[in-house]
Amino acid sequence: MSRNQQSLWHQTRQQQDILSATPARLELVPERASDLELSTAETLRRTQEELQWYRRLYDNTPAVYFSLDAMGIILSLNQFGANLLGYTSEQLIQQSVFNLFDQSDQQRLCDLFTSLLKSPHNEATGEFRLNCPTSKITWAKVTLRLLLGEDEHLIAEESQRTLATLSCAVGSALHYRNEFVVEREEVSTTTKVTPAPQCPVKSPVILMVCEDITARKQAEDGLKESEQRFQTLANSAPFMLWMAGCDGLFTFFNNSWLKFTGRSIEQQQGWGWLEGVHPQEREFCQENYDSAFHARAKFEIEYRLQRHDGDYRWMLDTGIPRFTPNGKFAGYIGCCIDITERKLAEVALQQSQEAVQAQLEEMESLNRLKEEFLSTVSHELRTPLTNMKMAIQMLGIALHQEQNFLSEMAKPPAERSKAARYFEILDNECDREINLINNFLDLQRLDTSARPWVLEKIQVQQWLWRVVELFKARDRTSCRQKLRLIIASNTPPIACDPYSLERILVELLTNACKFSPPDAEITISAHFKAPNIQFQVINSGVEIPSSELPRIFDKFYRIPSNDPWKQGGTGLGLALVQKLTKHLGGTIEVESGSNRTCFTIQLALS
């Protein structure tokens, strides 16, 4: 009863006591009686309005309120609670409250009632599932409170008797389940207590408050299901997974991790997993993890982890921070991948690179020695030959002054004197040796170092005509064939090293003159074959066997029995041609058939 209600009750009680008192003398006071009646009526009206207001407040409180007897029979409930459960108040009054809960939770609810009647605190709580088909809630937090009035000690005694009755009823197979049908008359007969007439005993009243926790339970169920799904997925993953909490301690390791280490999850949790890390990386590993943890940053660590057989394997451990939907740090999740093979490959690659570097340094050293040797050989070989050539020329001049030697040399070979024939042999062999040494040294330089090219823009028509004319003038005695020059009018200029290109064409013309019969025709042509310019040197008279074609560009290789005019050669000319062509970025091919040989060179315009 509220303080206001107690005040109103006290005021009305005083007025009733005044009216019932026996007056000392009888007086007729009509006005006084009328005022009292009006005051009493007003007080009753105000009390009724206040009670109605409290009733509306009770009915519309957003929770489910029951008043129950000790056996769980519903005595009253608020209207909001009835609507929330999907019933009317009339349908639930005098029904067992146990009928509203899931059958699997009815025994726990019964135990809660029992603990309430035993507890000295007169309050008990629990969470239970409802079983109301049209209810808006599924889960409820139940709070039970034993209401005690002025006669608390008498009600407490009655509670103990009710507890005995309740225990008897539970033991008799009804067990507060299903519809909770209790033979109340039979129970009251077995535990009938007749109180003293002067102290009427009231049965205890239990207040039950049900709060809707369906959303929270659904969230918890969803979280449990999500965690179970994660653990199922994590344990079936073929790689090693771990999780750490917001305190930095490791809490979860999947089956792959446990199988790899051969340890239980209890041994691994916290900092236990560090025991398997190689001692050389243990401190490094923990420092990196602590640094990333305090920065809430992603990290990658490589360390050796001991396998169940005692062998250490290299691991790449990657950790990513976890955050809740509201941005709160929740810990880390990470995975480990065995990278031992990669590490071994890196070590092997490093060793190989070191070996290659050593070989390169050795080759560079050898190349330097080779270049020094070639420079020395070039000087030591060319100097005597140059002197020999000069001496031969001076000998020719002296013989001409004494014996008119030039006229002797102009005669046919069969009519010349012995001195003239010996002089010609000496001069030709000296030129041959000079050519051999020049070709050999040029080839070696091309093999050992990249020769810097001097690129120029060449006008093909004028340049090629000049090269052919110079060749005729220089090799007038050795070239007795007819040279034919064909240059297409649409041939564009080419960016190239003119010295190297001239060397290539002169060498091919020299070969063509050597192996073609006198008075034969040798063709030199240039055509534009987009995107290249094509040069060709064609001669007739000698055919190269198809079996020899793959080898004609080899060093010191000469085709057997293919020199009918006994011109001789060094075997280095075509090898030098091929090397120079490659350095110019071009290609060279040879075709031979029907007593005809054709060398074709393709060079890019730029």
Q: Which residue has the higher pLDDT, 167 or 268?
A: 268
pLDDT at 189: 31
89-98 long-range contacts, Cβ below 8 Å, gap at least 24?
96/71, 96/72, 96/176, 96/179, 96/180, 96/181, 96/182, 97/66, 97/68, 97/72, 97/73, 97/180, 97/208, 98/72, 98/176, 98/177, 98/178, 98/179, 98/180
Residue 320 pLDDT > 90, yes or no?
yes
- CA–CA gap between residue 578 and residue 268 (Å, rounded): 69
pLDDT at 305: 94
Highest-scoring range by mean pLDDT, 15-19, 217-221, 378-382: 217-221
CATH number for 65-212 (one of 3.40.50.1110, 3.30.465.10, 3.30.450.20, 1.20.1250.20): it is 3.30.450.20
Convert the pLDDT of each residue in 30-65 to its tens digit. Answer: 555 566 777 788 888 888 888 889 888 888 888 899
Convert the pLDDT of each residue in 456-500 to its tens digit. Answer: 888 888 888 888 888 887 766 667 778 888 888 888 888 888 888
pLDDT at 582: 87
pLDDT at 154: 44
Binned at pLDDT 50, 70 and 90, residue 201 comes out as very low
531 cis-preceded (ω within 30 degrees of 0): yes
The region that residue 329 occupies, defined by phi over 0 for left and psi between -120 and 50 for alpha, beta otherwise, is beta
pLDDT at 581: 86
Which helix (H) or strand (E) is 345 found in, with range?
helix 340-403
Convert the pLDDT of each residue in 323-371 to its tens digit. Answer: 988 889 999 999 999 999 999 999 999 999 999 999 888 888 887 777 7
Domain 234-338 matches domain 453-604 at the CATH topology level: no
pLDDT at 451: 57
Residue 292 pLDDT > 90, yes or no?
yes
Superfamily of domain 453-604: Histidine kinase-like ATPase, C-terminal domain (3.30.565.10)
Residue 158 pLDDT > 70, yes or no?
no
pLDDT at 444: 66
Q: What is the mean pLDDT of the chain?
A: 78
Which helix (H) or strand (E) is 79 found in, with range?
helix 79-85
Q: Which residue has the higher pLDDT, 149 or 431?
A: 431
CATH number for 234-338 (one of 1.10.287.990, 3.40.309.10, 3.40.50.300, 3.30.450.20): it is 3.30.450.20
pLDDT at 453: 63
Pick from 203, 220, 97, 88: nearest CA to 146: 203
Q: Where are the domains of the chain?
A: 3-58, 65-212, 234-338, 354-431, 453-604
pLDDT at 274: 92
Q: How far is the CA of 201 from the CAs of 154, 156, 157, 444, 524, in angstroms?
A: 6, 10, 9, 127, 138
pLDDT at 191: 33
